[in-house]
A and B are shown apart, each in its own frame.
Chain A
Amino acid sequence: MIWPFARRTPAIRTVSGPGEIQARFKVAHPGFSLDVELSLPGRGVSALFGHSGSGKTSCLRCFAGLDQPANGYLQVNGELWQDSAQGICVPAHQRAVGYVFQDARLFAHLTVRRNLEYGLKRIPAAQRRIALEQAVELLGIEHLLQRLPGNLSGGEQQRVGIARALLSSPRLLLLDEPLAALDLKRKQEVLPYLERLHTELEIPLVYVSHSPDEVARLADHLVLLEDGKVSASGPLKETLLRADLPFVFEDDAEAVVDGVVSGHDPAYGLLALQLPGSSAGLQLPHAPLALGQPVRIKIKARDVSLSLQRAADSSVLNLLPARVVDWINVAEQAHVLVRVQVGGEQLLARITRYSFDRLQIQREQTLWAQVKSVSLLSAN
């Protein structure tokens, strides 16, 4: 756009169909191409995960209409935003999206309050679904309202950016690596607020990230992008466990497991968790939490080893009865990734090919998984 001539566009059309997100974007530039077809759940967090240059941000910009691919289709919970076959492309400012930029992009000339009001004022009162006070409370930014963005820390700017996007009452919230520019301390400051969004909002979130931890912690649905193409898309836990994938997480292959707090040992400072559908439990060093509280934990494949007998005298705390599901055996690599069933959940174990052959691992074989380290992702 060169000079901002307003263009007349027809009213947004609705399409019948399941309440979900259907997207297809095709972009070809010299040196970069994007060719994706996505079907995402109509609520909850969908993570677009991939290395830099894999097309995550380009995808998000197409969702928002900031980039308008000549060949594209986008339907969000029944609203048609783009269909190049019919010559429809709703401009960015007419799409009900909230966009949280990596660099916050607050308006430097406006106070935090005026930044928040910017989007709020531009939608009809009847369409507002969240009040200023609610968004301010949700993100804990009451004390910042009179300040100018230039005086805020990175974490504070990002929280204001999220509140500002929410206040435009979006039907789709897009987050472009909102934590990437923050140091570890600031990340920890913003993450709990992102989790609150997840539990308290009815709208779908699309979250772009290259951090396996963030994805494991926040996402319900995972899309893996590689070189502008979708290499996998599905519910988070299933997709993380797909041992057939040329794994994006590579050495960081991991499983995400949901458990319930079942006790705490104050003498040793250990928290006990119960896994669903299993008599097995896990213990990890952690402060006490309320009994029965659901928690999400992450177990890295490299922290899981396998043994045929229950080791009676091991220093490893967590020994779980497991059944072999399948494995990926990459010929030129020294390691094998074995998928095992523990109760209702699955784990990945990364063992050497030598040990794999020595133990003569078979499908459906029962054995013991020794879990050396467990990390708590979130306590909802």
Chain B
Amino acid sequence: MPLSKADFAAVLLTLELASLTTVLLLLIGTPIAWWLARTNSRWKQPLGAIVALPLVLPPTVIGFYLLISMGPHGVIGQLTQSLGLGTLTFTFAGLVIGSVFYSLPFVVQPLQNAFESIGRGPLEAAATLRAGPWDAFFSVVLPLAKPGFVTAAILGFAHTVGEFGVVLMIGGNIPGKTQVASVQIYNHVESLEYAQAHWLAGGMVLFSFIVLLALYSGRSRTRVWQ
């Protein structure tokens, strides 16, 4: 058996983390993307820039600030302690929060593009057909933005799977709790277990390739709004 028990646990944990993060990101990212796509507010550009920050910052920077704020003296830390939850550093919940920040632009930007390309036209048509704003959002915007949601979910999931720096900073390397696949590869290389590292690393390459292939072939079949 090329993969050890710890390797399997790491892979499973990675998938768990990525799935949960993706679901949360779609819930959080949709209103943010909707707001960014529709607003004329002067806060549009600053908020857009903040959402895009993880694209350019080294993950260690995000991890560092999250570590500080989730620690016993940080803002989030104080809050979670007052709620009786303890601190989130070196926990799975902490990893989820970190991943949400880290992968946010990969979900918000495809959604924002999808909403912007739909434009006001279909919403106005829906309004003249007696659909209230919520009704129009669910009956017209969501179905028309479906390709955007698929892209956002795939990118959010895949990017979270590939996370390393943030995990190491706030999650450490606790087997079964915060030890994800990318960290496990690092462990194997540290201990010169190249064969083990190959299996995990090769698996990640294959996984990423399949995800991107699905994304690109799906994109070329997407119907364009007329």
Interface residues of A (CB under 8 A from B): 1-6, 64-66, 91-94, 97-99, 101, 103, 105-109, 118-119, 122-123, 149-150, 164-165, 168
Contact = CB atoms under 8 A, between A and B. Distances in A.
Interface of B: 31, 34-35, 38-39, 41, 121-122, 124-137, 139-140, 143-144, 146, 223, 225-226
B117 to A, nearest CB: 12
Tell which of A5, A94, A103, A108 has the most Cβ of chain B within 10 Å. Answer: A108
A46 to B, nearest CB: 18
B133 A149 contact: no
A92 B34 CA distance: 20
Contacts of A4: 132-134, 136-137
Given A109-B143, A164-B129, A168-B129, A150 B223 contact: yes
Q: Across chains A and B, which 8 residue pairs bring their CB atoms closest together, nearest first?
A: A4-B133, A119-B129, A99-B128, A122-B130, A92-B127, A105-B125, A109-B143, A93-B127
Nearest to B125: A105
Contact of B38 (A1, A92, A98, A106): A1
Given A1-B38, A108-B226, A150-B223, A93 B132 contact: yes
B133 A6 contact: yes
A28 B31 CA distance: 32
A192 B124 CA distance: 27
A119 B130 CA distance: 6
Tell which of B41, B127, B140 has the most Cβ of chain A within 10 Å. Answer: B127
A3 to B, nearest CB: 6
B130 A123 contact: yes
A109 B130 contact: no
Contact of A168 (B130, B137, B139, B143): B130
Given A107-B122, A108-B144, A150-B226, A3 B34 contact: yes
A280 B143 CA distance: 62
B131 A149 contact: no
A122 B128 contact: no
Contacts of B133: 1, 4-6, 93
Contacts of A65: 127
21 contacts: A1-B38, A1-B133, A2-B41, A3-B34, A4-B133, A4-B134, A4-B137, A64-B127, A64-B128, A66-B127, A93-B128, A93-B131, A101-B125, A107-B140, A108-B225, A118-B126, A118-B131, A122-B130, A149-B226, A150-B223, A168-B130
A97 B132 contact: no
B130 A66 contact: no
A90 B41 CA distance: 25
A330 B188 CA distance: 94
Given A66-B128, A101-B125, A2 B223 contact: no
Contacts of A92: 124, 127-128
Nearest to A167: B129
A9 B106 CA distance: 38
Contacts of B131: 93, 118, 122
A107 B130 contact: no
A93 B132 CA distance: 6
Contacts of B121: 101, 103, 105
A98 B134 contact: no
Contact of A99 (B125, B137, B139, B225): B125
A118 B146 CA distance: 19
B160 to A, nearest CB: 26
B223 A108 contact: yes
A123 B139 CA distance: 15
Nearest to A95: B128
B24 to A, nearest CB: 19
Given A4-B137, A105-B124, A93 B130 contact: yes
Given A93-B129, A107-B122, A149-B226, 12 more contacts: A2-B41, A6-B134, A93-B127, A93-B128, A93-B132, A97-B128, A98-B128, A101-B121, A109-B146, A122-B129, A150-B226, A168-B129
Contacts of B226: 108, 149-150
A1 B124 CA distance: 11
B222 to A, nearest CB: 11
A64 B128 CA distance: 7
Contacts of B31: 3
A93 B131 CA distance: 6
A167 to B, nearest CB: 9
A103 B120 CA distance: 13
A3 B223 CA distance: 26
B163 to A, nearest CB: 30
Contact of B132 (A6, A101, A165): A6
A2 B38 contact: yes
Contacts of B132: 4, 6, 93
B27 to A, nearest CB: 14
A273 B145 CA distance: 57
Contacts of B146: 109
A107 B128 contact: no
Contacts of B137: 4
